[in-house]
Amino acid sequence: MRSDLMKTGIDRIPHRALFRALGLTDEELNRPIIGVVNAQNEIIPGHLDLDKIASAVKAGIRMAGGTPVEFPAIGVCDGIAMNHEGMFFSLPSREHIADSVEIMANAHPFDGLVFIPNCDKIVPGMIMAALRLNIPAVFCSGGPMLPGRAAGKMVALTDAFEAPAAVHTGKMGEREATAITEHSCPGCGSCAGMFTANSMNCMTEILGLGLPGNGTIPAVESQRILLAKHAGMRIMDLVAGDIRPRDIVTQKAITNGLVADMALGCSTNTMLHLPAIAHEAGLELSLEGVNAISGKVPHLVKLNPAGPHFLVDLNNAGGLSAVMKRLDSLGLIETDAKTVDGTWADRIAAAEIKDGDVIRSRETAYSQTGGLAVLYGNLAPDGAVVKKGAVLPEMMQHTGPAKCFDSEEECCQALYAGKVAAGDVVILRYEGPKGGPGMREMLSPTAALAGMGLDRSCALVTDGRFSGVSRGASIGHVSPEAAAGGLLAYVKDGDLIEIDIANYSINLKVSEEEIAARKQEIVPQPPKEVSGYLKRYRALVTSANRGAILDDSKL
């Protein structure tokens, strides 16, 4: 056993003495020791009840003959960190989480790991760690939040973020806003729509690292506790069979992940995290191949904020195994891809599509192409990402004058001051991985546009990124970013920006001669003054089209 390195033999007498201090018996030390990575804390709603998940996981490990040892991981609540300096640290926390798990699991050589994440960067950070370490591992998230109810309708975090703009413009009264505040997030769990947290929990299941139901069983249901116990038992089978994450996350698994991503219309953040995950697995995932997959995969599931359904509805409709069953019927899935409990063929055979409105057929699909798209053109030669499943039909093609802003704060102030008009293309730059630094989510500007009713006539283009809560013609991840000398830095107010999402293009309609002249005239904004972790992060982070991974070659 790997754990023998820290517990077996005469030379490990002091080690065993320390284990005695923890109250571990000889019987417990003689079993496989399983690290339980628990991100539980009291600041993220999705993590509040992870202590219960951890208890169930540990019970499962003990039932199957292992000894669980729990240790923590940090987490940032993107919603609470939104629209202030806290958001600079969200994406960078992904790398810190991966590094900290690597440190713990190598300093204390566990035989296997059970990961308990739930929200935004915690999930991909833990997946990256699992693949980097490549010791047997299984994931059990805390599960999605239920939607709330206010003013006679179902509500979620989307409504809360769009409420300020609606109040500012008189479209909503304070009484309705208060009801949304009180009821849009009714309890524990990752926020109820197909936002980043739920997108990545679903991707964990699709990639094969989580058991069926990992992405969709609500946080408050007892089925989530049962799932956690089974995850604890399953890790013992993986340890016994020496089945490792890189045996599961192969090129076939990555392909399945992209196919499901398109069918589900997940958060644009998956286009940051999947390349980073592939990198840790020693695989290739280029954004250039995404549109080919999007072009053949219908958009079958439309969850909040793009559509009327929530994660609980997808769970009741049969969950992700049912989605994969539908996709398999279309010949789009690699069914021999491995999972922690067999293959996708096994899961599909046991799956049932229980609601054809939630999981649609090709004939009734929302679109015959996928929910995400990568746009290319002179403004984004290395790509830009849009959640096209959440774009209104009238904004799929749009040409309008640029309104340029050099920070999220400047943009929000202009929006609330009425300085953005119908038809404008909002350019929000210097918010990329290096420029931010940290590539902040631009949820406040997109929510303001939606709350003011401008999502029907305005687009937003940024080298920053978006929360899964964002909707509308929100085009992010523009690469190269402005801080790296990308063309975004040289756009001026009034320039025409041509967006054609259906044909995957985005262009600045300015002559090459004028662009060359501007590059001689305009000096890009100097780097912001930062210190500590952000300074180290900025020195190493790469472009969004590479998943904003850190470039170790610079070390």
User: Taking the mean position of all CA atoms in its chain, how far away is CA 211?
Assistant: 19
- SS3 for 469? coil
Q: Which helix (H) or strand (E) holds 319?
A: helix 319-329
467 in catalytic set:
yes
Show the DSSP H helices in 149-244 as ranges.
157-168, 174-183, 196-207, 222-241
For 459, the token pair is 């687009």
DSSP string of 251-293, one letter each residue: HHHHHHHHHHHHHHT--TTHHHHHHHHHHHTT----GGGHHHH
> 């890790």: which residue's tokens?
235
Q: Which residues contact 103 (CB under 8 A, 6 or more apart)?
A: none
For tokens 């283009």, what's the residue?
461
Residues 6+ apart with CB under 8 A from 276: 94, 124, 128, 547, 548, 549
SS3 letters across 111-122: CEEEEECCCCCH
Rounded to 5 degrees, φ, ψ at 532 are: 60, -135
Residue 397 · residue 499 · CB < 8 Å = yes
CA pair distance 118, 45, nearest whole angstrom: 9
The catalytically annotated residue of 467, 474, 479, 543 is 467
Distance CA 48, CA 189 (A): 8
CA distance 50 to 39: 7
Residues belonging to the active site: 467
